[in-house]
Copies of this chain bind each other. A is one copy, B any other.
Amino acid sequence: MRRKLIVVSNRGPLSYGTGPDRELVARRGGGGLATALRGLLSLHDVTWIASAISAEDRQLAGEARAETARDGAPFRLRFVAHDEQAFDRYYNVVANPMLWFVQHYLWELAYTPRIDQAFHVAWDEGYAAVNGGFAAAVLDELDREPDAAVFFHDYHLYLAPRLVRTAAPEATLMHFVHVPWAQPDYWHILPERIRFAIHDGVLANDVIGFHCDRWRQNFLDCVRDILGEEGGVRAITAPISVDVAEFERLATADEVLAAEREIVDRRPEKLIVRVDRTDPSKNIVRGFRSFELYLEAHPEMHRRVGMLALLDPSRLDVPEYSEYVGAVQREARRVNDRFEENGWTPVDMQIADDFPRSVAAYKQFDVLLVNATMDGMNLVAKEAPLVNERDGVLLLSENTGAFAELSDWAVPLNPFDVEAQAEAIDVALTMDERERRDRLQAIRAHVRENDVNAWIELQLAALDAVVPAARH
């Protein structure tokens, strides 16, 4: 059944730049959401609403343009041009760090955050204003296609659904939350009017999706605590996943093979890989410390094992993120200063946005370290095993959404326990080949069965359950 859909997310599937002959050039991000939603574009009539990021996007803003996806599927793309100061406040003050830090339990509450007048202004004139801009664009598109269903994405857009609902009471609205939902006490960091507006805004949707039951249940607990409401909410668990065919294609792409040759030339006998954005929730500092503890306990493995940390720089306009990069660099340096020998650097840290290199590392890991302190899903835990060629072992934080699916086959980690993480590295490196293969195959089978299309199907089924069939 072909559906009319309006997808709304902060970042769209492409952004425009200017080419050598001053022509407009579309630049496609490698990013997760655009890839995950590709299946929608080819099977349904999609209008995508996203923030104008570049100057070129801003020139194109205001009405939808006809675009084609990589596979040739047509879709419409509408940029929303926000006031630049409003966008800065919305993105760099409210969404990151405030909402991200609340939803991942990252504040140091004795000292941070300090909610001051600047934050209140950022909320009113930044976050609320940008959400208002998105809502206006959605309503405009609903005028054109009143039966289209609207799919909001993530923590940037908590206020838009209520704004749309108020103006279009009959609209079909769905929201997918890609981050953890904190439990009520932690939401109480935010002033009452703000925590109320967030939950009230999200509750204006017909369906709300989460990556695992844990975040979903936390959301329902918050609705009760913060809004004083029970029931009436259709909250679903739909774990995001991987485009399997895409990753199989990538595994043999030229640029991945080139990157892989470089890794093979440099790699020690055993390779521990981590691939993350430089985000304080990713727990990179403790990961290096755990590796140090492992090396301290296993001098026989010196020169034979290395950690390859491929880190994508992230949100460097936000001071908490810049500081975190500094802490990550300092810790890697400290471990290397302690153990480095001629020809062996224990931690090979590369801070760059290099997706082909990440896929190459996925193929080459003996141990994959995913130790996030909190993570909505963590797609690395699904992507890397799919293409790994060394019967590698997944070490997985129990605070990731992925843990709900993969815990039977991963080595579980408490992300705060560096001693246990060092021991888990040893467990993984000494696991016998048969067990490693069985575990990896099981993860792979699970991801193949529960791929990105299954994720989309779960959402569409939930939508069908709330919307009269005639509406499609």
Q: Which residues of B have CB within 8 Å of A414?
A: 115, 188, 190-192
CB distance from A407 to the nearest CB of B (A): 12
CB distance from A50 to the nearest CB of B (A): 29
Mark A195-206 against chain B: 1 for CB-CB distance below 8 A, else 0.
Answer: 000000000000
Q: Contacts A185-B182, A185-B183, A419-B120 known; A109 to B115 CB distance under 8 Å?
A: no
Q: Contacts A108-B107, A185-B218, A373-B110 known; A116 to B324 CB distance under 8 Å?
A: no
Q: Contacts A183-B184, A184-B183 known; A189 to B416 CB distance under 8 Å?
A: yes
Mark A278-316 against chain B: 1 for CB-CB distance below 8 A, else 0.
Answer: 001101011001000100000000000000000000000
CB distance from A179 to the nearest CB of B (A): 13
Q: Do B191 and A114 touch (CB < 8 A)? A: no
Q: Do B417 and A324 touch (CB < 8 A)? A: no
Mark A88-118 against chain B: 1 for CB-CB distance below 8 A, else 0.
Answer: 0000000000000000111111110111110
CB distance from A93 to the nearest CB of B (A): 14
Seed contacts A109-B416, A115-B420, A183-B185; 5 additional CB < 8 Å A-B pairs: A111-B285, A111-B327, A115-B419, A120-B419, A182-B185
Q: Which residues of B have CB within 8 Å of A111?
A: 285, 327
Kindly name the residue among A111, A183, A283 whose own CB sees the greatest number of chain B CB atoms within 10 A.
A111
Q: Do B116 and A109 touch (CB < 8 A)? A: no
The CA of A283 and the CA of B112, in the complex, are separated in Å by 10
Q: Which residues of B have CB within 8 Å of A451?
A: none
Q: Which residues of B have CB within 8 Å of A117?
A: 293, 419
Q: Which residues of B have CB within 8 Å of A283?
A: 110
Residue of B nearest to A417 (CB): B115
Mark A248-289 against chain B: 1 for CB-CB distance below 8 A, else 0.
Answer: 000000000000000000000000000000001101011001
Residue of B nearest to A184 (CB): B183
Mark A297-341 against chain B: 1 for CB-CB distance below 8 A, else 0.
Answer: 000000000000000000000000000100100000000000000
Q: Do A116 and B373 touch (CB < 8 A)? A: no
Q: Do B189 and A114 touch (CB < 8 A)? A: no
A355 contacts the other chain (Cβ, under 8 Å)? no
A375 contacts the other chain (Cβ, under 8 Å)? no
The CA of A398 and the CA of B416, in the complex, are separated in Å by 29
The CA of A54 and the CA of B418, in the complex, are separated in Å by 35
Kindly name the residue among A289, A293, A373 whose own CB sees the greatest number of chain B CB atoms within 10 A.
A373
24 CB < 8 A contacts A-B: A104-B109, A106-B108, A106-B109, A106-B110, A107-B108, A108-B108, A109-B416, A110-B280, A110-B285, A113-B416, A114-B416, A114-B418, A115-B416, A115-B418, A116-B418, A117-B293, A117-B419, A120-B419, A183-B184, A183-B186, A185-B374, A188-B414, A189-B416, A191-B417
A399 contacts the other chain (Cβ, under 8 Å)? yes
Which chain A residues numbered 404 to 423 have a C-beta less than 8 Å away from chain B? 414, 416-420
Q: Which residues of B have CB within 8 Å of A190?
A: 414, 416
Residue of B nearest to A115 (CB): B417
The CA of A312 and the CA of B188, in the complex, are separated in Å by 28
Mark A114-142 against chain B: 1 for CB-CB distance below 8 A, else 0.
Answer: 11110110000000000000000000000
Leading 7 A-B pairs by shortest Cβ distance: A108-B108, A110-B280, A183-B183, A115-B417, A117-B419, A109-B373, A116-B419
Q: Contacts A113-B416, A117-B419 known; A188 to B398 CB distance under 8 Å?
A: yes
The CA of A105 and the CA of B416, in the complex, are separated in Å by 15
CB distance from A234 to the nearest CB of B (A): 23
CB distance from A189 to the nearest CB of B (A): 5
The CA of A117 and the CA of B296, in the complex, are separated in Å by 13
The CA of A104 and the CA of B188, in the complex, are separated in Å by 13
Q: Do A324 and B110 touch (CB < 8 A)? A: yes
The CA of A281 and the CA of B414, in the complex, are separated in Å by 25
Q: Which residues of B have CB within 8 Å of A120?
A: 419
Q: Which residues of B have CB within 8 Å of A398?
A: 188
Q: Which residues of B have CB within 8 Å of A184?
A: 183
CB distance from A459 to the nearest CB of B (A): 25
